[in-house]
Amino acid sequence: MRIRFRPVTAIAILLLAPALLPAFAQQAGNLQERMSAAEFYDAGLNKLSAQELATLNQWLATHQGTGTAAPAVAAAAVGSVAAAEPAIAPAAGSRRPSTKRQAFEAHIVGSFTGFSGDSLISLDNGQQWQQIGDDKPMCNSADSPRVKIKPTLFGNWLIDVPSCNLLVHVQRVK
């Protein structure tokens, strides 16, 4: 059996293809699913908060196929965040991120009396972490308590102080 070329069918397929591309692009997922960890880090998107990243993903989903997404994504990635907390810590001697963020333990420098809603916590390893949000969990005072900093599923960090009854969201500032 011989297949014949039908110009009407070919024209219909060519006309429908551009109309289907935005629907396919929306099904492709959010930026974290579409990019490798290295691409995500190189674009500076690791600096966005969970809310800012969700807003950017929503904007991309509603503006697919308009031809203006690429410049706007670059502007959003560069200009939307002033904080410099890496969501993925760079590997030793590398500018690229390691693919896995890991929890670590350290001691708070000096006396710890609790969280005030905007607490700045200095650790003995030289890092400083700023409390995010206004949580004020019940805490007992302690001198140089050992704390654990843990990554969350959505790119944020939690601090676990044994003398407190809740984990608190933090971001690295130094």
Question: Of the spans 55-59, 84-88, 91-95, which averages the highest pLDDT?
Answer: 55-59
User: Do 50 and 113 fall into the same domain?
Assistant: no
Domain count, the chain: 2
Q: Provide the pLDDT for residue 2.
A: 63
Quote the domain boundaries for residue 149: 104-172
- State which of 79, 96, 128 marks the end of a domain: 79
- State which of 32, 63, 79 marks the end of a domain: 79
Q: Provide the pLDDT for residue 128.
A: 95
User: Do 127 and 163 fall into the same domain?
Assistant: yes
- State which of 38, 62, 79 marks the end of a domain: 79
**Residue-by-residue DSSP string for the chain:** -PPPP-HHHHHHHHHHHHHHHHHHHHHT--HHHHS-HHHHHHTTGGGS-HHHHHHHHHHHHHSTTSS-HHHHHHHHHHHS------SSPBPTT-SSBPS----EEEEBSSEE----SS-EEEBTTS-EEEE-S-----B--EES-EEEEEE-TTS-EEEE-TTBSS-EEEEE--
Position 91 in a domain: no
Q: pLDDT per residue over 5-57, tens digit each? A: 566 666 666 666 566 555 444 445 677 767 777 777 777 777 777 778 778 87
User: Do 70 and 123 fall into the same domain?
Assistant: no
Position 1 in a domain: no
User: Do 17 and 68 fall into the same domain?
Assistant: yes
Position 99 in a domain: no
Position 90 in a domain: no
pTM above 0.85, yes or no: no
Position 160 in a domain: yes
Q: What percent of the chain has pLDDT over 90?
A: 28
More confident residue, 38 or 152: 152
Position 41 in a domain: yes
Position 88 in a domain: no
User: Do 115 and 161 fall into the same domain?
Assistant: yes
User: Do 153 and 114 fall into the same domain?
Assistant: yes
Position 92 in a domain: no
